[in-house]
Structure 1
Amino acid sequence: MITLDYNNMLRPRLGGERGIDPARLQELGERFREIHADVERRREEGELGFYQLANAGELVDQIEAFANGVGQAFENVVVLGIGGSALGTIALRNALRDPYWNELDDDGREFFPRLFVLDNVDPATIAAFLRRVELRRTLFNVVSKSGGTAETMSQFLIVREALEAELNEGYRRHLLFTTDPERGVLRQLADAEGISTLPIPPNVGGRFSVLSAVGLLPAALVGIPVRELLEGAREMDERCRTDELTRNPAGLFAALQFLADRELGAPIQVMMPYSDRLRDVADWFRQLWAESLGKQTSLTGEEVFVGPTPVKALGATDQHSQVQLYVEGPFDKTITFLVEQNPAEDVQIPSLYGDVGELGYLGGHTLGELLRTEKEATEEALRQRGRMNMTLELPTVDARAVGGLLHLLQIATVYAGALYGVDPLDQPGVELGKQLTYGIMGRQGFEQVGADFAAREEKRREWTV
């Protein structure tokens, strides 16, 4: 079972005036009951569609049928997507497949395909990848709910041209669209050209879509047991149905981070896995937390300019780059450790140079012991300096545990939105940037945006060195 140890978030553990007063957490319990009831109502009304994904058995049947059929005809699967259309897939691949998956031979991958995710439009990366990949052996999964994402659609146009040039009419077999079931340009193209599709539910936003076809299809293609992912999500869902704050792990995570930010001046919230396999969960969480909670306007229309700043770190690597700041810098941070209780693999440290003090003590231990000890040492160093920290511990990094962890963090995000009084499902700041891009690039319907940009005040030369 996933556990949340929040001892070191509380004042009795940190000493002095640092940390959250347990009485304040208890006071928040009544407000949480109201929030929980409202979330349950919105869930039942279908507004929070990600809750329904764990029980989407028919979709899983469809995904597995594709993965076990057409999908296994390819040596490479390439996801074209960005943000929520990519980060979850990267997190699943790196948590649940070999860390060198794409470098393994066919036997090493048990004849499952390699999985690449192109989540940016840097021309150097795209050009290099297209020079390397064999198009005839590759399936391109284009992921965009709207079909209007400039980055993803640019990638698609480049790939579409390359596929048709090499395969003529056979290009269709090498494309799969994951998109809205009824609307958008990808849906129109799929219907017109006979390209296979999988649906993204209309009530599921991109950053909440990892347990939809967005993440499950690529996962299934490389042999990740997607039913176990959803089973873990269902188990976590049951744990989070209680309206008792101190028994609801998602509610606790949200409440602790909220109190740390709004009442204790700690808006910087670091997620620090002590596991290479979980490092990209922190990347996925950064988008989820930042895009959902960083808002100018509250639900009542007031200007509030709220939102914590999520930061990614990695143990033990960042003990040698960031932890100095965390231990002795401003008291403006919380640290959430992600750890694995029972790693599937360990490596023995040989007992060599026993007479050399700097080396001898390591012999007879394992790398797993060293990593656990470094986490415990960092946790204690932070505690002794009055720095708030907590630990999310997975029993092991497997599909069930990862599914539970992702679902916990999604639910926590919705609770946190209610605590901050903002809508965790929209992203108006992102939309502004998109509209400016459309106008500058000449998209039809955004001519005025482009004209306004062209007429903006020029930057001053004297302010550039």
Structure 2
Amino acid sequence: MSLELKSGFSFDYENLFGEGKVTAADLKSFEADLKKAHEAMKVMRKTGFVAGHLSKDGEPEKVLFSELPYIEEGHLNSPKSIARLSKLTASVQNRVDAVVSLGIGGSFLGNKVLFDVHCGEFWNSKSKAERDGFPRVYFSGNNIDPRRTTDLIEHINASAKVASCHGEKRPYHVMLLLISKSGGTLDTMSNFMVIYEALKKNPEVEVEVIAVTDPNEKQPTLLKKLATEQKWPTYSVPDGVGGRFTIFCEVGLTLAACIGFDIEAFLAGAKAMDQVCQNDDIWQNPAMLNAALKFIASEKHGRDIEVMMPYGDYLKSVSEWYIQLLAESLGKQFDKQGNEVCYGRTPVVAVGTTDMHAQTQQHQEGKLNKIVQFIRIQKWDVDPVIPDAFPSAPKLSDISGVTMSQALDVALQSNADALASNQRFSAVFNLPELTPYHLGELLYMLAMSIAYEGELANVDAFNQPGVEGYKRIMGPKLQALKNK
């Protein structure tokens, strides 16, 4: 059983729906709730409002992530903003040697997805020509780690020294892409200040800063004020788009611009998915179907852990991005009426085939509380054939003669079949190819699925009050430490 779109993207739910799994009767029992959830999505798209959603200040707040795929005048992503991102691409290419992307939460996780899918692990080891003139990329600000931050500074300084020794007659050009809506994010700003000050002291390094922050001019944030004073170019962390959804706005798209990622194709995939997800028929709406099956699997069958298991190393960051999306959106103590419900499914990162040798024992024989969600790439842009390198070793000869992707598919299907044989739930998202368009489809479908599930669970999927709790405690503790 599979829902396939015209693009070739499909959601295979055979091992999640049917006898002994989520049944048609289960779906029927939630029919009214599903209709209500779908109507809420229509209202969200039209007005930006979601019933029961309040900002951290307790005020009604628009939810605008569903606008982001549409490049239109008056939208957060407009023809003007996309053109400005294109200019950023042109400015960076063949001029900037290294970009340090500084952010945490969605400002790190989303950007890491775009980097991994487009660039891969060995990007920074390639020559400038092999990178088509685009800079090396490093990530920081996603943890307060003194050793790694120091290592990063030393590495950049060493790269500058190597460049000068190879006849470069200009400073090594480093762009700090600083992402913080408020400018007070401890993790990000502490790393930024340490790196900024250290690099500024090196005469072989030239530093520029781009600030991605709240664009409000009337009540500027700390970072907006700083950017204005320092004359740093700014891009927007817009109101109405929580960090976990910002991969589709300038938070993610500025980094995309710095690596030559196809922004318009990415948003086109998200737009196509949004249009499909406007279908009233659950069997033709992948986000609503995905949300319904997983919500019911949790509430009626106790499967309240979702193992996100893409088959591909460079998709691990997709799983990590999804962890925040699911955890922050749905892990809520209270429902929209203020009743204590302690709702939430627990997300787990896995990668196939790696975690078939690490986690699968638990998936296969542990508690019946999990859904394993696979992601499969149908056609890889490179696909070596496994050679018969050692004919005298029969066991090795047995695995030769097939492509690596064929072996990967066999592993995934074997995992799914084994799980199904022992009453374990799983499903597969199939991407025709790993392109910006299909990535946009996948990530947007996951975001919209979370919006649907919030309505089904009657919790606010767009706030994060639990995150504010530790922040209120941490501020005074830091001040007390400084005052000692």
The reply to whether TM is greater than 0.5 is yes
Corresponding residue of 2:209: 175
Structure with the higher helix share, 1 or 2: 1
Q: Is residue 84 of structure 2 the alignment partner of residue 78 of structure 1?
A: no
CA distance in structure 2 between the partners assigned to 1:411 and 1:247 by the alignment: 14
Give 1:60's aligned amino acid: I
Give 1:273's aligned amino acid: P
Corresponding residue of 2:460: 423
Give 1:341's aligned amino acid: Q
Give 2:14's aligned amino acid: N
Distance 1:300 1:365, change over 3 A: same
CA distance in structure 2 between the partners assigned to 1:396 and 1:421 by the alignment: 36
Q: Is residue 9 of structure 2 the alignment partner of residue 2 of structure 1?
A: yes
CA distance in structure 1 between the partners assigned to 2:225 and 2:45 by the alignment: 30
Counterpart among 189, 192, 196 of residue 153 in structure 1: 189
Q: How many residues align?
A: 440
Q: Give CA-to-partner distance per residue, 1:83-126, whole Å, 9 cap, x none.
A: 11100010111112233111111121111111111121211100
Q: Give CA-to-partner distance per residue, 1:239-293, whole Å, 9 cap, x none.
A: 1011222211011111111111111111110000011121110000000000110
Contact 1:33 1:245 in 2 (8 A): no
Q: Give CA-to-partner distance per residue, 1:357-401, whole Å, 9 cap, x none.
A: 322211211211111100010010011111000000001001000
CA distance in structure 1 between the partners assigned to 2:221 and 2:44 by the alignment: 26
- The more displaced of 65-74 and 333-342 is 65-74
State the 1:163 CA deviation.
4.1
Aligned ranges 1:61-210 → 2 under 5 Å: 61-70=83-92, 72-118=94-140, 119-134=142-157, 136-166=172-202, 174-182=208-216, 183-210=220-247
Which 5+ residue runs of structure 1 have no aligned equivalent? 13-17, 455-465
SS at match of 1:336: strand
Distance 1:49 1:71, change over 3 A: farther
Give 2:185's aligned amino acid: T
CA distance in structure 1 between the partners assigned to 2:459 and 2:331 by the alignment: 9
CA distance in structure 2 between the partners assigned to 1:207 and 1:146 by the alignment: 16
SS at match of 1:133: helix
Counterpart among 259, 270, 281 of residue 222 in structure 1: 259
Q: Give CA-to-partner distance per residue, 1:35-69, whole Å, 9 cap, x none.
A: 11112212222222111111223221111112212
State the 1:24 CA deviation.
1.4
Aligned ranges 1:287-436 → 2 under 5 Å: 287-354=324-391, 356-436=393-473
State the 1:217 CA deviation.
1.1
Aligned ranges 1:210-289 → 2 under 5 Å: 210-289=247-326
Contact 2:153 2:199 in 1 (8 A): no
CA distance in structure 1 between the partners assigned to 2:267 and 2:453 by the alignment: 23
State the 1:166 CA deviation.
3.8
CA distance in structure 2 between the partners assigned to 1:389 and 1:268 by the alignment: 11
Contact 2:88 2:257 in 1 (8 A): no
CA distance in structure 1 between the partners assigned to 2:202 and 2:447 by the alignment: 42
Aligned ranges 1:20-99 → 2 under 5 Å: 20-46=22-48, 47-55=62-70, 56=77, 57-70=79-92, 72-99=94-121
Give 1:165's aligned amino acid: K
Contact 2:304 2:369 in 1 (8 A): yes
Give 2:222's aligned amino acid: V
State the 1:355 CA deviation.
5.3
Give 1:350's aligned amino acid: P
- The more displaced of 210-219 and 65-74 is 65-74
* Identity in percent: 33
CA distance in structure 1 between the partners assigned to 2:282 and 2:124 by the alignment: 43
SS at match of 2:307: strand
CA distance in structure 2 between the partners assigned to 1:360 and 1:72 by the alignment: 46
SS at match of 2:248: coil
Distance 1:387 1:159, change over 3 A: same
CA distance in structure 1 between the partners assigned to 2:31 and 2:89 by the alignment: 45
Q: Give CA-to-partner distance per residue, 1:185-219, whole Å, 9 cap, x none.
A: 11011111211110121111111100111111111
Give 2:411's aligned amino acid: E
Give 1:322's aligned amino acid: Q
TM-score using structure 2 length: 0.87
Contact 1:49 1:201 in 2 (8 A): no
CA distance in structure 2 between the partners assigned to 1:97 and 1:156 by the alignment: 24
Which 5+ residue runs of structure 2 have no aligned equivalent? 1-7, 49-61, 71-76, 161-171
Contact 2:92 2:135 in 1 (8 A): no
CA distance in structure 1 between the partners assigned to 2:153 and 2:179 by the alignment: 18
Contact 1:115 1:218 in 2 (8 A): no
Give 1:8's aligned amino acid: N
CA distance in structure 2 between the partners assigned to 1:395 and 1:189 by the alignment: 45
Corresponding residue of 1:461: none
Q: Give CA-to-partner distance per residue, 1:402-442, whole Å, 9 cap, x none.
A: 01111111111111111111111111111111111111001
Give 2:375's aligned amino acid: L
CA distance in structure 2 between the partners assigned to 1:144 and 1:227 by the alignment: 24
State the 1:72 CA deviation.
4.4
SS at match of 2:181: coil
CA distance in structure 1 between the partners assigned to 2:200 and 2:151 by the alignment: 19
TM-score using structure 1 length: 0.91
SS at match of 1:142: strand
